[in-house]
Amino acid sequence: MTSVSTHILDTSIGRPAEAVAVELAIRSGGADAPWAPHGASRTDADGRCKDLPELPEGTTHVRLRFETEPYFTNQKQAEEQQDAPRVRDSGAGAFFPEVAIVFAVEPGEHYHVPLLLNPFGYSVYRGS
């Protein structure tokens, strides 16, 4: 079976990003094929989503969508309550309110796709 997992590290604080909603969508065929919702999760205390469903046979592409705005809003509120310096000031909302990652998959492989996140940038890679 083909499977996907992910985790998020908030590089601005050097800690996992907890409670970030993640949506998994799939498509079969070429780039013009429609996306179909396939699962959803939320990162745990270690910033990991371990419970995303296996991919059905014929899946060619996966899209992970991370809802980052609520995470940064909560982080900002926590900093304000602690009277911490405002290092996350990005104006009215998050600079990246969501992050969408699309990648190709092959049958029988496991894909671990970590997201390194900060208020003004992000990076992804295929992990192990």
What pLDDT digit, counting tens, does each position of 1-17 carry? 899 999 999 999 999 99
pLDDT, residue 59, reads 96
Segment 34-64, tens digit of pLDDT: 999 999 999 999 999 989 999 999 999 999 9
**Has domain 3-124 been given CATH number 2.60.40.180?**
yes
**Residue length of the chain:** 128
Assess contact for 22 and 65: CB atoms under 8 A: yes
Assess contact for 23 and 14: CB atoms under 8 A: no
Cα separation of 122 and 65, whole Å? 13
Segment 64-112, tens digit of pLDDT: 999 999 999 888 755 655 554 455 454 556 899 999 999 999 999 999 9
Q: Which DSSP letter does residue 54 get?
A: P
Burial class (CB in 10 A: 0-12, 13-18, 19+), 73: middle
Cα separation of 128 and 54, whole Å? 16
pLDDT, residue 74, reads 85
